[in-house]
Amino acid sequence: MKSLSKVYTALIFIILYAPIAVMVLFSFNSSNSTGVFTGFSLQWYKELLNDSATLEALKNTLVLAVSSSCIATIVGTVAAVGISKIKSKYMKNAINTVTNIPMMNPDIVTGISMMLLFVFATAKLGMSQTLGFSTVLIAHITFNLPYVILSVTPKIRQMDKHLTEAAMDLGCTPFQAFCKVELPAILPGIISGFIMAFTLSLDDFVISYFTTGNGFETLPIRIYSMTKKRVTPDMYALSTLIFIAVLVLLILSNVAEGDGTKKKARARK
């Protein structure tokens, strides 16, 4: 039984990683085929460094992910605190339901609904072209907000409310109490919300695709337009680099965490 489950787990992981392995392999291919491996070369990595449109798209994606996740984290955290203070159950439910709409809706519906709004607003305001960075940013903040609120709210609920009152009894202003007592208590929720928002924004294709116009291209959109034709392996090279970066980050964070727990264990002794 035990070995059967091991074989099964291994099999699933092999299938899960096969496309990635193939991608890594062919990023080193010496010809532009993605089916036949003709020999090792680094030419696609060189090509990637010279592909200014792809690098521009990479930069756009990073700028978008950082700005949208920062704004969503700030607005979302403040909102989560505010929502937790609302007493009317009806009001709370209404806000939460609306907040969760982008999470429940398929991406394509969220994307086109925002596109319709932007197109309509553009026409009414008589502007020629508004779809671009700002509209994609608005869209990303919107779909990031529920994830931030969702990860901050439980931390607020877990927090002892008397602590805030104690801080104010001891002379803190409400703002000081918020910064010195509440904020540190809910910080883990804020951080995990931020990471989730950042990841989602980095990876989003569908919503960006519908809310962007000519001139602003994120990496997934660039990949989409490139895969309409035959992909050259420089896309594989780029994905390999991203994959390695993520892998290293994950391993580092795991090692750091492991060290932390070891230290804690030692301190306890």
Partner 1 sequence: MQNRSFMARLMAAPHVVWSILFIVAPMLFVFYYAFTDSQGNFTMSNISELASPSYLTIFARSGAFALVATAICLLIAYPLAYAISRANPKRQKIYIMLIMLPMWMNFLIRTYSIMAIIEDTGFVNNILGYFGIEPIHMINTDGAVIFGMVYNYLPYMVLPIHTVLSKLDNRLLEAAADLGCTPVQTFFKVVMPHSRSGIISGITMVFVPSVSTFYISQKLGGSSFDLIGDTIERQFQTAYNYNLGAAMSLVLMIIILVSMAIMNRYSDDEGSVVV
**Radius of gyration (Cα) for the chain, nearest Å?**
23
As given in the structure block, the two tokens for residue 186 are: 């809910």
- Check binding of 195 to partner 1 (CB under 8 A): no
Cα distance between residue 101 and residue 129, in whole Å: 28
| Residue 191 binds to partner 1 (criterion: CB under 8 A) | no
Identify residues 14-73 at the interface with partner 1 (CB under 8 A). 15-20, 22-23, 26, 34-36
CA dihedral (112, 116, 121, 122) positive or negative = positive
Beta carbon of residue 226, minimum distance to partner 1 (angstroms, whole number): 9
d(CA 203, CA 246): 13
Stretch that binds partner 1, among 42-50, 152-160, 183-191, 241-249 (CB under 8 A): 241-249
Whether 138 contacts 187, CB under 8 Å: no
- By the 10 Å C-beta count (0-12 exposed, 13-18 middle, 19+ buried), 37 is classed as middle
Rounded least distance, CB 148 to partner 1, Å: 10
When the beta carbons of 42 and 121 are compared against partner 1, the nearer one is 121
- Residue from 42, 187, 250, 255 touching partner 1 (CB under 8 A): that is 250
- Write each residue from 108 to 147 as x if it is in contact with partner 1 (CB under 8 A), else as -, in one continuous string: xxx-xxxxxx-xx-----------------xx-xx--x--
The only residue of 130, 220, 232, 241 in contact with partner 1, by rule CB under 8 A: 220
Which residues from 151-190 bind partner 1, rule CB under 8 A? 174
Q: Select the residue interacting with partner 1 from 83, 159, 163, 185 (CB under 8 A).
A: 83
Q: Helices 183-203 and 133-158 meet at what angle, rounded to 10? A: 150
